[in-house]
């Protein structure tokens, strides 16, 4: 018999960005488990799963944010 997969846990002693990465992993695991269920056995409403996907994207954007300016050098000084 296959052992039940457990959800990732969050180590609250680490910094907040690491915690956010763990939250993303947790949300992805929830969606993965939900995706394996038959539609009639689903725990989440379809709209709720869409919202979770949107939240994952937003968190990943914040986690991966690079504050370095991304611009072309000006030719005005030449």
35-67 residue pLDDT tens: 999 989 989 998 999 999 999 999 999 998 888
Does a structural domain hold residue 25?
Answer: yes
Q: What share of the chain is helix, strand, coil (3-state, %, to 5)?
A: 55, 0, 45
**For range 13-30, the mean pLDDT:** 90
In a domain, 36, yes or no: yes
2 within a domain of the structure (yes/no): no
8 has pLDDT over 90: no
pTM here is 0.70
Q: Residue 22 corresponds to which tokens in the numbers above?
A: 């763990």
Helices (H) and strands (E) in the chain, counts: 2, 0
Q: Would you say residue 20 has pLDDT above 80?
A: yes
56, part of any domain: no
Domain that includes residue 38, residue range:
14-42
Please, are residues 22 and 10 in contact by the beta-carbon 8 Å criterion? yes
Instruction: Give me the chain's average pLDDT, please.
Output: 84
With respect to residue 29, please indicate whether it lies within any of the assigned structural domains: yes
The structural domain count of the chain equals: 1
């Amino acid at each position: 018999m296959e052992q039940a997969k457990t959800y990732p846990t969050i180590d609250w002693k680490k910094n907040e960005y690491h915690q956010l990465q763990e939250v993303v992993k947790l949300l992805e695991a929830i969606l993965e488990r939900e995706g394996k269920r038959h539609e009639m056995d689903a725990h989440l409403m379809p709209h709720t799963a869409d919202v979770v996907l949107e939240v994952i994207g937003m968190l990943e954007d914040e986690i991966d944010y690079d504050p370095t300016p991304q611009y072309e050098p000006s030719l005005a000084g030449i």
